[in-house]
Amino acid sequence: MKKLLIAAALLAPSLGHAQTPMSGHDPAMMHHMMQAGPAQAAALPTQPGQSAFAAIQEIVAILDADPKTDWSRVNIEALRQHLIDMDNVTLRATVAMEPIEGGARFTVTGAGPVTDSIRRMVTAHAATMSGTGGWTFVATEAPDGAVMTVTVGNPADVTKLRAIGFIGVMTRGMHHQMHHLMLASGGNPHQ
């Protein structure tokens, strides 16, 4: 059986050229995969293929499993928009770091929708995280984005701050997961 599966896997790419392309969602195949025994299930993929999709999938599963979920308040679209902002800031923003006494100043810029994403993310992060771990955050708008000034209480943290840079600062604190759950549940995590 194992040899047959390997042979089929090797032939599949060449057979695919002679067939009409499929959407990738074959109901019969999905049913068979879900009915597979424990040995076969271990070989099934676990990743949904895209990180924002995976984050939304995880939140929907959490909400679905909670009998107290108030579905009239759930707003998955708000979470999707926030994940777009995260993607824009992480992958499309330009960051310039300027060392300052006791910290660093990050000028974060972008064009079009990236500018708005920067402003939302930097402002929210500064408001949420300022004071945590002795680090102070001050955010101001700039013509094409925002400026975030970070100062640290412990002089030994200056090197760490400058090493992790802007995006490292944005990742500090395990608040993002709860933030996503609050957004999707219809709450306002920035109050």
Q: How many structural domains are present in the chain?
A: 1
Q: Which two tokens stand for residue 159?
A: 């090197």
Contact, 75 vs 186, CB < 8 A?
yes
The verdict on residue 41 lying in a domain is: no
Average pLDDT across the chain, whole number:
83
How many of the other CB atoms lie within 10 Å of CB of 184?
A: 25
Q: What local confidence, expressed as pLDDT, does residue 36 receive?
A: 56
Q: Which two tokens stand for residue 189?
A: 């995590």
pLDDT band at 26, cuts 50/70/90?
low
The verdict on residue 132 lying in a domain is: yes
- Give the rounded percent of residues in the chain with a pLDDT score beyond 70: 76
pLDDT digits (tens, 9 = 90+) for 45-69: 888 889 999 999 999 999 999 999 9
The verdict on residue 124 lying in a domain is: yes
Q: Give the residue numbers spanning the domain of 81.
A: 76-184
10-24, 41-55, 89-103, 170-184: the lowest-pLDDT one: 10-24
Q: What local confidence, expressed as pLDDT, does residue 180 receive?
A: 85
The whole-angstrom separation of Cα 11 and Cα 165 is 48
The verdict on residue 171 lying in a domain is: yes
